[in-house]
Amino acid sequence: MGRAQVNYGWGEGSGKLWMGEKAQVNYGMGEKAQVNYGCGKKAQVNRDGEEAQVNYGMGEKAQVNYGMGKKAQALLANMSVLYCIYHGPQGLQHIAHRIHNSTLILAEGLKQAGHELMMTDTFFDTLRVQCNGLKAGIKQQADNHKINLRQFDDGSFGISLDETVEEADLNDLLRIFECKSSAEEIAGDLQSKGNLKSISNSSFKRKTSYLSHPVFHSHHSETALLRYMKQLENKDLSLAHSMIPLGSCTMKLNATVELIPVSWPEFSAIHPFVPTEQSRGYLQMFEDLEKDLCEITGFDGISLQPNSGAQGEYAGLMAIMNYHHHRGDHHRDVCLIPTSAHGTNPASANMTGLEVQPVKIAPNGDIDLVDLKRQVEKYNNRLAAFMITYPSTNGIFEEDVREVLELIHHHGGQVYLDGANMNAQVGLCRPGDYGADVSHLNLHKTFCIPHGGGGPGMGPIGVKKHLIPHLPSHPLVGVGEGRNGGAVSAAPWGSSSILPITWTYIKMMGPRGLRQATEVAILNANYMANRLENSYRILFTGKNGFVAHEFILELKEFKKIGVEPGDIAKRLQDFGFHAPTVSFPVSTGIMIEPTESENKDELDRLCDALLYVRDEIQDIQDGLVDVKDSPLKNAPHTAQVVMSSKWEKAYSREQAAFPLPFVKPESKFWPSVGRVDDLYGDKNLICTCPSMDSYGDYVDDQEAMRSSCKQELSKKPHWLIKAAS
């Protein structure tokens, strides 16, 4: 680790704030996610006449999303957009000018020292220089100053600057390349000449407006930004409030002790492509983690490169395809997938060029063996892979899993096991032992990386020995001897800065602890299913009457009285619970996964809430309550609605907002928006940005402030490296 990471622009996001404070905005290992916070987000007026923003409109999070959240990089995107909000367009432009001016100074110094710039005259932050002198000496000088330079095969060097580079760093670089002038002297010389070839003086200068929404002009102090962030946070229900029973999502505890190392600079402030001697701790962690994951899964090799479960699916299927092609089996191009599979399964198969053929599900929730045998016979010579989730997506352990996998192997196919439900296997069984050839592991589920709101995630894949040569590789960094599968991520070990979470979890739990966690997860699910089975239909159970680590409540019978799964999901918000997974894998049900993190009291609270809702449904069935004016159809109830002077509903405010004794005023989590029509919102996208007319007065006020700032900045030497604060 050096004083300055002067690498070559792979996207590390540490920065110095506009007013001089340092901020570490770490994007994992250089992986930046882009989230559009502009127009076009779903918005509508809810039942109580309030505007409701669903999903992410300009970063205003509404707690309405209760579906399946596959991993993006939403946490990191929020960090990026908050960085933009804090600085605003003027602050970001000031930072960009500072970086660009620093690069101009360095470029001029390199030319003065007799070196050749291997680029056009127009550049932003990156230079490539061919040295006029001893290259080995320059590299040694850089190492002595703890500065990393990129060295190309032709001996030239690459240098990228960012806002963390200060005048002292710039002077060090100039000395390394044997420039006699200082940064300040070069800056003064450039300013006096007045013929600077900067972006501002070129045809590349931006002429369009950007970040024009008021949110980017409103929170430019730490206090203001902190309060804004807290307002957003207050709209999010998290594990700090109650359990999140999303089926097939494994929203388990992310212990503080596991998260703390992520903030250590040894993990968060290092560039993904530093020389290996500077990242030995990381490499040791990778080695430990790969060894532990192999032991847990029964596989022979692990790739940590995939950034999500879906990316792991893609990498695993590519390994299978490369394996077939290596053997000359180019004709194998069919992938069999059960109809109950996660949607990412057929999507990933399609991306790898495979033809997807569905396999039916039997009435008991198992794979239909008759249909599977028919399919493998039909596609015998073309069968490339079979994708299976175990325990199944229906929440049960399929007792015939070995027979199923042996059937696939007998017909020349490879088995891809979706690791979405590994939380029911760790310490009890290993995919590599019962026939899987490759599987991905959702470290953001089973192994404790937080992923609420959409990421970050990690989806490493484990493979049997014959597939190791086809694991992902990397063009710049060796990630495993003999691997030639190509890269699936820009960074060699994916979002590796979050891997300390999983490493810590495994080391703290140990073999017995991991097994116990799995057993408790299964126990919790069966306890809840047992409490609810007399009031709701448990859609699938195993032959012995038990479920795995999650289960489905079938709600189809309530449809005839007008009650939908979404109604129950929204009503649970009034009890302070995030909804279970709605309409997956069965469109008429909800799926519940309690995980091992919840104690019996919390399990009972959710069961009590669901039983209370069942009583409300019974009142509708008995004709005691009109479904259109029931709590189910009006849920969730916001504080504004409950405290309104006008209340014309057929039930009390207490039933609406405090239906059970455990829902208390001092601890209640209030939904931030009321009832919205999901179907209407999905079909009618409208802009949630303010109208153009509303920008008028605001822009005038900002223009006056901007003019004052410009006058102040004009008094300072603009080309100096020091930031004008």
Residue-wise pLDDT for 129-176, tens only, equals 999 877 778 999 999 999 999 999 999 999 999 999 999 999 999 999
Estimate to the nearest angstrom the gap between the alpha carbon of 548 and the chain centroid: 26
Burial class of residue 527 (count of CB atoms within 10 Å of its CB; 0-12, 13-18, 19+): middle
**Is residue 536 within 8 Å of residue 555, measured between CB atoms?**
yes
What are 14's strand-pairing partners?
24
Listed in sequence order, the residues at least 6 apart from 255 whose beta carbon sits closer than 8 Å to its beta carbon are 448, 505
Which pairing describes strands 301-303 and 461-463: parallel, antiparallel, or unpaired?
antiparallel
**What's the pLDDT at 5?**
36
SS3 97: helix
Which alpha helices (H) appear in 368-495, and where do they start and end? 369-378, 401-410
Neighbours of 155 (CB within 10 A): 12
Distance in angstroms (rounded) separating the CA atoms of residues 333 and 350: 10
DSSP state of 17: -
The residues, any chain, with a CB within 8 Å of residue 306's CB and separated by 6 or more, are 312, 314, 315, 440, 458, 459, 460, 461, 472, 488, 489, 494
| 585: preceding bond cis by omega (within 30 degrees) | yes
Task: Using DSSP bridges, classify how beta strands 56-57 and 60-61 pair: parallel, antiparallel or unpaired.
Answer: antiparallel
Q: Give CA–CA dist 165/645, Å, rounded.
A: 58
- What are the tokens at 701? 């006020």
- Say if CB 616 and CB 651 are below 8 A apart: no
Distance, in Å, from the CA atom of 144 to the CA atom of 156, rounded to the nearest integer, reads 19
CB 63 within 8 A of CB 574: no
Query: First and final CA of the chain: distance in angstroms?
Result: 28
Give one DSSP letter per residue of 120-188, joined into a string: -S--SSEEEEE-SS-HHHHHHHHHHTTB--EE-TTS-EEEE--TT--HHHHHHHHHHTT--S-HHHHHH
CB 540 within 8 Å of CB 396 = yes
pLDDT, tens digit (0-9, with 9 covering 90-100), for 273-306:
899 899 999 999 999 999 999 999 999 999 999 9
Determine how many CB atoms are found less than 10 A away from the CB of residue 362. 13
Number of residues written out for the chain: 725
Q: Quick one: pLDDT at residue 707?
A: 57
Strands (E), 577-656: 581-582, 589-592
CATH of domain 299-494: 3.40.640.10
Q: Residue 22 is inside which H or E element, if any?
A: strand 22-24
* 538 neighbors 532 (Cβ within 8 angstroms): yes
Q: What is the DSSP letter of 56?
A: E
Q: Which of 350, 348, 347, 346 is nearest to 359 (CA)?
A: 346
Residue 565 and residue 579: Cα distance in Å, rounded? 10
CATH topology of domain 514-671: Aspartate Aminotransferase, domain 1 (3.90.1150)
Q: Tally Cβ neighbours within 10 Å of residue 396.
A: 24
* CATH 3.90.1150.10 holds for 14-201: yes
**With a cut of 50, which residues of the chain have pLDDT below it?**
1-45, 51-71, 695, 698-699, 712-725
Contacts of 18 (CB under 8 A, 6+ apart): 86, 87, 91, 94, 95, 220, 723, 725
Whether 182 and 174 have beta carbons less than 8 Å apart is answered as: yes
Strand order in the sheet with 157-160: 116-117, 126-130, 157-160, 150-151
Domains in the chain: boundaries: 14-201, 299-494, 514-671
Q: Which contiguous run of DSSP H or E holds residue 436?
A: none
Beta-bridge mates of residue 15: 23
Angle at which helix 565-573 crosses helix 600-621, to 10 degrees, equals: 130
Q: Are 496 and 28 in contact (CB under 8 A)?
A: yes
Q: Which of 289, 684, 351 is nearest to 502 (CA)?
A: 289
The tokens 């999983």 sit on which residue? 502
Residues with Cβ within 8 Å of 377's Cβ and at least 6 positions away in sequence, in order, are 411
Q: Which two tokens stand for residue 589?
A: 């049900």
Distances from the Cα of 548 to the Cαs of 373, 400, 492, 598, in angstroms? 26, 15, 35, 16
Return the pLDDT at 713: 45
- The answer to whether residues 103 and 125 touch, using CB atoms and an 8 Å cutoff, is yes
Dihedral pair phi/psi, residue 504, rounded to 5°: -65, -45
Rg of the chain in Å (alpha carbons): 29
Q: 511 preceded by cis ω (within 30°)? A: no
Q: Would you say 577 and 567 are in contact if contact means Cβ atoms under 8 Å apart? A: no
| Residue 298: both structure tokens together | 């029964």
Which residues fall within 8 angstroms of residue 197, CB to CB, at 6 or more apart? 104, 121, 122
Domains 299-494 and 514-671 share a fold: no
For residue 50, CA distances in Å to 53, 58, 581, 639, 675 come to 10, 17, 26, 12, 9
